[in-house]
Amino acid sequence: MLDDKQLIEEFRKGSESAIELLIKRHYDKVFAYIYRSTWDYHIACDLSQTVFERTVTGLGGYRSERGAFLSWLLTIAVNTCRNYFRSSAFRTTRRQVALDETMSADFNVVSLLERKEEQAIIRNALQELPALQREVIILRIYHELAFKEIAEVTGSGESTVKSRYRQGLSKLKKRLERSERDAAQEEHGERENNHFA
């Protein structure tokens, strides 16, 4: 099986199937990053498409000595997301996304509801994070990049990235704890209401 470097060479020689293989190999990762940044399936698809268009048209400028292809791809994804958040499209049409599509079929109704709730809590907690901290958290936790790589991808210093990561985790921890407290209080209130009724 050809690795990324060989596929890029093939692409430079004019092979269109090399583009297809490269995209199919990395689409999930790019999509996952963008989805976790935008929380909209359709926007994530559109932006992933933009990322791959930019990638393949700029592939001539890619040098493997500078880093892994995936890191380069994620750099483009990070910049594309940043551009999107700055765009008027994002400011005018912030969409709320249903979580139904995130569910898998192997849960019973109760666990499905619990899981749905947990997903919503995490999504909201991540959404509330400042963009720069969210970038680092996503790249570290979901893409398992080293801090050095994250620094390269986001164009920041390694110590800045570490600091953002720690601050982000602290905020997430507080928000998740607060959500749990709120949920517990809500449940307690409902029980009391039922008891008095």
Q: Is 122 exposed, middle or buried (0-12, 13-18, 19+ CB in 10 A)?
A: middle
112 binds another protein (CB under 8 A): no
What sign does the CA torsion over 10, 49, 77, 97 have?
negative
Amino acid at 105: A
The two tokens of residue 148 are: 């050095």
Per CB under 8 A, the list member of 8, 74, 77, 145 interacting with another protein is 145
Q: In angstroms, what is the minimal distance from the CB of 178 to another protein?
A: 13
DSSP 3-state assignment of 23?
helix
CB 34 within 8 A of CB 80: yes
Comparing CA positions, the residue from 32, 58, 59, 68 lying closest to residue 47 is 32
184 binds another protein (CB under 8 A): no
CB count within 10 Å of CB 55 equals: 22
Q: In angstroms, what is the minimal distance from the CB of 68 to another protein?
A: 7
Nearer CB in complex with another protein: 148/197: 148
Only segment of 37-45, 73-81, 88-96, 185-193 that touches another protein (CB under 8 A)? 37-45
Nearer CB in complex with another protein: 110/197: 110
173 binds another protein (CB under 8 A): yes
Interface residues toward another protein, by CB under 8 A: 16, 19-20, 23-24, 27-28, 31-32, 35-36, 41, 44-45, 48-49, 52-53, 55-57, 68, 101-104, 118-119, 122-123, 126, 137, 141-142, 144-149, 162, 165-166, 169, 172-173, 176
